[in-house]
Amino acid sequence: MVSKWLSSPTGGCGWLRQLAVVIGLGIATAQAGATTVFACEPEWAALVRVLLPNAKVHVATHAKQDPHHIEARPALIAQMRSADLAVCTGAALEAGWLPILQQRSANRKVQDGQAGMFYAADHVSLIDPRPVTLNPFAGDVHPEGNPHLHADPRRVAQAAKALAERMATLFPAQASDVAARHKAWDERWQRHIARWSQQGRLLKGRKVAGQHTTFGYLWHWLGIEMVADLEPKPGMPPTPGHLGALRDGLLTDPPAAIVVAGYQDDRSARWLAQQLQGKAPLLVLPATVDDASHPEALERWFDRILSELSAAAGGR
């Protein structure tokens, strides 16, 4: 009886084929139902993975790229097209490429004004707002304020709270899990902030030279003063004349460090450090997390930045 059943079209191999079809349909259904998130920058991808660890996350940029200037590649358009939620900085940081992705993806969920389009800058206060200007020589100016808000862990916490609430609205079946994960993360994060603030007390009042406003929120939070910018105007590369003037001014009162982001060309900063005769070390710091998939990517990033800044300041 058994051998006859196994050899029949509806038994044996036929049964295995039916089982394979059922399993295949189940996998396809699960994949179709999986949440897909498009993150413009690695810091937001890291935060998404904390709140929605089972989501499929696409990241448009990495730590070695300037988030102002990204090519709207076909691969990014396809990723945006599949997204249920897009998480970006806003404040015009992605103005040069994100609108193209939104338009060409034709994904209604992630257009401006839709619940699926989340801008972190909409949920925090921004520093250094600039008046709107039509002057083409003004440089890379952000009228709403400095968009690099993720360099302040307190603002990261504010953005995380708003993002968790948005996720609960978009994905009600996961709302309780998202809320629980956010609560646990925020409790840990607040302890980290207290530790980092204590560590940063030694940095208060220190002076640095930098390039662009990439770490503006970090300086603001820790009480560090950026006394010189290698860029003559925001977003414009350093010029020999501008660097020469900086050298003359900093020789008599050198900063604790010269700081540039990992995606920036550090040749000008190295020249200035040499001209200052070793009085100000050069620090090349990552502008964002290196590995957004790590469960503690954001914590590791702040740990590294605080450690390197403290080491530089301690040497003076």
First to last CA, the chain: 88
Average pLDDT, the chain: 88
Q: How many residues does the chain have?
A: 316
| Residue 136 C-beta-side C-alpha neighbours within 13 Å | 0
Tell whether the torsion through CA atoms of 226, 230, 233 and 235 is positive or negative: negative
Quote the CA–CA distance of 191 and 153 in Å, as a whole number. Answer: 11
Quote the CA–CA distance of 263 and 186 in Å, as a whole number. Answer: 29
Quickly state the pLDDT bin for 315 (edges 50, 70, 90): low
- Tokens for 5? 């059943």
pLDDT > 60? residue 28: no
CATH 3.40.50.1980 describes domain 199-314: yes
Q: Spelled out in words, what is the top-level CATH class assigned to the domain 35-197?
A: alpha beta
pLDDT > 90? residue 275: yes
Domain ranges within the chain, ordered by starting residue: 1-33, 35-197, 199-314
Q: Which residues contact 29 (CB under 8 A, 6 or more apart)?
A: none
113: left (phi over 0), alpha (psi -120 to 50) or beta: left
Residues 87, 40 contacting (CB under 8 angstroms): yes
Predicted local distance difference test score (pLDDT) of residue 175: 97
Fold agreement between 35-197 and 199-314: yes
Tell whether the torsion through CA atoms of 264, 267, 269 and 270 is positive or negative: positive
Model pTM score? 0.86
Q: Which pLDDT tens digit goes with each residue over 205-260? A: 999 999 999 999 999 999 999 999 999 988 889 999 999 999 999 999 999 999 99
Quote the CA–CA distance of 81 and 202 in Å, as a whole number. Answer: 47
Quickly state the pLDDT bin for 132 (edges 50, 70, 90): low
Q: Which pLDDT tens digit goes with each residue over 138-169? A: 456 678 899 999 999 999 999 999 999 999 99
Predicted local distance difference test score (pLDDT) of residue 314: 76
pLDDT > 60? residue 199: yes
